[in-house]
Structure 1
Amino acid sequence: MKTLTSLLILMVIGLSNLSAQDLILSDSLSAEEIKLVGVWKVNLPEQKSKLDAESKTKVNQLDSKGQEGFWNATESRVYALDGERNFVMTWVSEGSHNEVIGKWKLEAKTGILKLFGEHELFEYQVEFKEKSQIWIPITKSKEGLNVLYIKGLGL
């Protein structure tokens, strides 16, 4: 699994062909957008510690195998956003590799990140931290986690 995720990340980074200097000098990306460019992974310890009561109850109702699968799928979640506004979201669930590929856009006035997937739109209110971000879904889903605590890969 780690090899597949690493390979996917290298492919995405290779597609962008942008150095950090190019991004800084780019007038097509705002300062906030530049903060989004990179490879982001769910910060599992923080995710678990800040789990809301409703989600905690749902997870605790699963048997031990179900809980393990849920947390493994959560931990495997990776988001790669490049300077050309392409993104890949990837995760492993029940032994299957899943991915969504598309375009991203950050609404400057609202701070809302829109991920336009092939068949679905994901919208998050983004809070920028020093080495991490918090992505709060605009529309809460019925499954999974409704707030994502993510960190830059390697941080």
Structure 2
Amino acid sequence: MTKAIDPATLKSAERQVPEIDPARVQIQASGQLWREFFVRAPADFVADDLKSPSAWRKIQNGSRNSLKKFDRVFIVAFDESWVAEAIVASADSKGAVLAKPRLTTMPERYDNLFQDDKYRVAWNGHGYVVERKADGHVMTQPTANADLAARLLTQLYPARVA
């Protein structure tokens, strides 16, 4: 016979909601009544975290881009798999509450990024970089497009001179 487990005694492993870095918040437009912001979410941020006001704590504490009521926010996932559009319902120094974020799932990539036996081109949230496959070490600075990163990948190999 098995013992009945009391749900009150179980401790849930609550996940910490990642806070959005103020450096990843950019102003799109500033009008007379409200502003529009572009926000790139952290790598471990999921769409459900938009419900938590604490995700905006760093931005609300002294950032020049702190949110206020009626501001528009356009949030992009780190891997660009989804985007969300929302209006700020309320904001204070502890965080911001978004009113009904509208989520849009972005389609999968149809073209594969370039790779060879040692290196691969990857998106790191700021641009395209070349990663070493063996350990995931980033070998180049972020670039604006995948073609430039592929060119940098080929430059990692020695070239014969003369």
Whether these two folds match at TM > 0.5 is no
TM-score, normalised with respect to structure 2 = 0.27
Q: Whose strand proportion is higher, 1 or 2?
A: 1
TM-score, normalised with respect to structure 1 = 0.28
Bigger RCO (CA 8 Å, 6+ sep): 1
